Structure 1
Amino acid sequence: MAASVVLTLSSAACTYPLTPESPPSTSASASPTALPESPAVDFFAHEMLSRGAPAVVVRIKVRGREWSQAYGSQDVETGEPAAVNDLIQAGGITQSMVAVSVLKLVEEGKVGLDDAITEYLPEFEQLVHPPGPVTVRSLLNHSSGLPDAPEAILKAMTPKQAMNTRFGIEDYLRMAGTVPWGSAHFQPFRYSGANYYALAALVEKLRGQPIGDVLASDIFVPLGMNHTSLSAEPVLDARDMIQSYEFIDGERVNASQPGFLLGSPAEGVITTVGDINTFYAALMEGRLLSANTLREMQTMWEENYGLGLQRWNDECTNGFYYGHGGSTWFASIAFSTSDGTRQIAVSFAYPSDTTKHLESLDGSSQPEFQQLLDVAVAAMNGLC
């Protein structure tokens, strides 16, 4: 489920003082080959902490050199300092990983990008009632017109109940199928987490394994992403995870691992900023997919969105950065240069005392998320 945090805080413009005042923080970069700290990210982190964000974590890699830092507290209730290797919710970054597993099936000749999903998953029609054929490609690039499920979920239960409810893939798609489709011609870009639930159902059927196990085999284990998982069960030792909170009906609720995000193929991966950088570097370097498939993945549809990838301008090369953003109870952004030589991953837990609700959004309407994106692009463009 795409669970977005809609904030009522105003978005202050980013200006970067020469010497910002810094509350205690923990840095993971002490190597002589480390990059200098990024003033843009550093000021942004302190700005978010001043607004009540529990923690911000960042890792930047440029041609073998690195700068990483953690700000704030892993848990505001205990005051334990945050660390760079603390776990976070990946949010929509999950979709890039699921897209890789789908495209591996394409490379093996088991799936065609322009085939109707019902050729492989006939139950799709009964679950979501599409007004016409839906292709695998249209699910990957959010052009299918498939509605998302939160609207129906919040009609069926309270936000607190939704926070504590786990949705299987078919359950989630069935809920999405109760919402009217936006277009019978499937032309406009319509960001919907339900697209990736359908793709996960496809992967599970053809691989005969849960989507989390497939991601582990395809990506996490080969790349040594030892802190990354997609599981229907919560992380057992949550002491290694940054804690996020929300007030619902006046009660403070821990939103670090809400039930509806567990196992979500749209937003459910639990990881670290370091593992995220490892993933996007490997993807861009051609270690996960063939060059032809990667070019297909990078081909944009609308809104600068390809097959599980988003795109931003790289002023250093006059080319592009590729990656993804995500907004749950964490805001995260991560991307890499097209040759894999520069990466950035930044994530922060939203302040708990803000008005939030569950919607199918990509974070673009949230001022803090847009500010995070602008800062990340500026930081990378300053490290040519």
Structure 2
Amino acid sequence: MAVVLALILASGACTYPLTAEPPASTSSSDSQGAVPESPVADFFAHEMLNRGAPAVVVQIKVRGREWSQAYGSQDVETGEPVAVTDRIQAGGITQSMVAVSVLKLVQEGKLGLEDPVTQYFPEFGQLVHPLGPVTVRSLLNHSSGLPDAPVAILDAMPTKRAIDTRFSIEDYLRMAGTVPWTHANFQLFRFSDANYFALAAIVQKLRGRPIGDVLKSDIFVPLGMSHTSLASEPDRDARDMIQSYEFIDGERVNASQPEYLVGSPAEGVISTVGDINTFYAALMQGRLLTASTLRDMQTLWQENHGLGLQRWNDECTNGFYYGYGGSTWFASIALSTSDGSRQIAMSFAYPSDTDKHIESTDGSGQAEFEQLRQVAIATMNGLC
């Protein structure tokens, strides 16, 4: 798959003209024509199905025109066909949304990016035992040095029990606090979901409401994202949730809404590819934050990370794409141009024989996630 995908990627950066008729088995905006099917995305989707992925969903938008496609089954046990509007684990895309709610507090003067975390969340020190002051900004761009919790969690309990355990913000940070800090200058990139658990604690204290409710009022309701939530309780009986499975000790476990991710401010948002594109378009077009705050959010630190955003080169404009990607029991990625005029959101449920989803929530170590990232970039560069 990797070799063939590389060949297609090499030829996939050409510009595809917009067509008047949508391809078969796609959905499109009727009034303005459609974006043609991406051969790169289509090849990748079929190869992931061959690899054992239950489902792949993708939505591409170019200047108001749309192409979207769903591949596979919503549930391999029932064979129900998947729909583009079915929900997925958004994974790390959650962090962009939490970052918006943090930055709204900054705009209101209730929070400072250079302020110490303990100013707003005094329990932080007792939970994670930092080697020195940690700022709000360093949590947002993963430069705090804060360890993550998965290694400690998996040392403390079997994998299946970990997946079936719900962690409060304090519980998660307490587990992260058992892992040694690796540096004392707090200037090196170290991806850690625990950063966003700490940010959520700050938001909750300043807003006086759960982080899921804050995201709903800050983002989901104003943008009409009716299929998106960071729920405090799972909705496992919902008919529009793509089902994901994993084999653990020979037993196939449903990991579509595992307790481990319920309410997680780092990975826990449930959404659709359409709602995800809506979010990033609104963000890039200045409908969620002021222009100066958005520039702060887009400013990189290391490893292509800004304040809750990642950045990639846009070969069409010599500019940049912004968005986020991450890996849970789904791999999800979203890219948008800086003006929101070209977008892709793409996700798939991992084959059930793929493991290590708890350990590598940023996608590191997952070959399929790296291929997804390459496919998303190549598709965007092919839609100039």
* TM-score where L is the length of structure 2: 0.94
Distance 1:97 1:354 in 2: 27
One-letter amino acid of the structure 2 residue matched with residue 330 of structure 1: F
Describe the superposition over 1:259-288 as per-residue Cα deviations: whole angstroms up to 9, x where unpaired: 010000000000000000000000000000
One-letter amino acid of the structure 2 residue matched with residue 319 of structure 1: G
Contact 2:230/2:268, CA 8 A, preserved across alignment: yes
One-letter amino acid of the structure 2 residue matched with residue 42 of structure 1: D
Describe the superposition over 1:182-208 as per-residue Cα deviations: whole angstroms up to 9, x where unpaired: 111112100000000000000000000
Query: Alpha-carbon deviation of 1:357?
Result: 5.1
Distance 2:29 2:222 in 1: 28
User: Partner residue of 2:344?
Assistant: 344
Contact 1:26/1:71, CA 8 A, preserved across alignment: no
* TM-aligned CA distance change 1:12 to 1:50, over 3 Å: farther
Q: What root-mean-square deviation, in Å, do the aligned CA atoms of Structure 1 and Structure 2 show?
A: 1.5
* TM-aligned CA distance change 1:282 to 1:232, over 3 Å: same
Question: Are positions 1:374 and 2:379 aligned together?
Answer: no
Distance 1:356 1:266 in 2: 17
Query: Alpha-carbon deviation of 1:221?
Result: 0.1
* TM-aligned CA distance change 1:258 to 1:11, over 3 Å: farther
Distance 1:100 1:355 in 2: 31
* TM-score where L is the length of structure 1: 0.94
User: Partner residue of 1:4?
Assistant: none
Distance 2:199 2:25 in 1: 39
User: Partner residue of 1:29?
Assistant: 28
| TM alignment of 1:1-384, pairs within 5 A | 11-14=2-5, 15-16=7-8, 26-29=25-28, 31=30, 33-235=33-235, 237-356=237-356, 358-384=358-384
Contact 2:27/2:66, CA 8 A, preserved across alignment: no
Distance 1:360 1:236 in 2: 24
Query: Alpha-carbon deviation of 1:34?
Result: 1.2
Q: Secondary structure at the match of 1:240?
A: coil
Contact 1:40/1:379, CA 8 A, preserved across alignment: yes
Q: Secondary structure at the match of 1:363?
A: coil
Bigger RCO of structures 1 and 2 (CA < 8 A, at least 6 apart): 1
Distance 2:36 2:334 in 1: 19
Contact 1:26/1:82, CA 8 A, preserved across alignment: no
Identity %: 78
Query: Alpha-carbon deviation of 1:77?
Result: 0.6
Contact 1:54/1:74, CA 8 A, preserved across alignment: yes
Query: Alpha-carbon deviation of 1:361?
Result: 4.3
Distance 1:28 1:93 in 2: 24
Question: Could you list the runs of 5+ residues in structure 1 that have no partner in the other structure?
Answer: 1-9, 19-24
One-letter amino acid of the structure 1 residue matched with residue 286 of structure 2: G
Query: Alpha-carbon deviation of 1:155?
Result: 1.2
Q: Secondary structure at the match of 2:239?
A: helix
One-letter amino acid of the structure 2 residue matched with residue 37 of structure 1: E
Describe the superposition over 1:157-177 as per-residue Cα deviations: whole angstroms up to 9, x where unpaired: 100001110000011001101
Stretches of 4+ moved more than 4 A in 1?
10-13
* TM-aligned CA distance change 1:33 to 1:357, over 3 Å: closer
Aligned length: 369
Describe the superposition over 1:319-341 as per-residue Cα deviations: whole angstroms up to 9, x where unpaired: 00000001000001101100111
Question: Could you list the runs of 5+ residues in structure 2 that have no partner in the other structure?
Answer: 12-23
One-letter amino acid of the structure 2 residue matched with residue 239 of structure 1: R
Distance 1:48 1:360 in 2: 19
One-letter amino acid of the structure 2 residue matched with residue 80 of structure 1: E
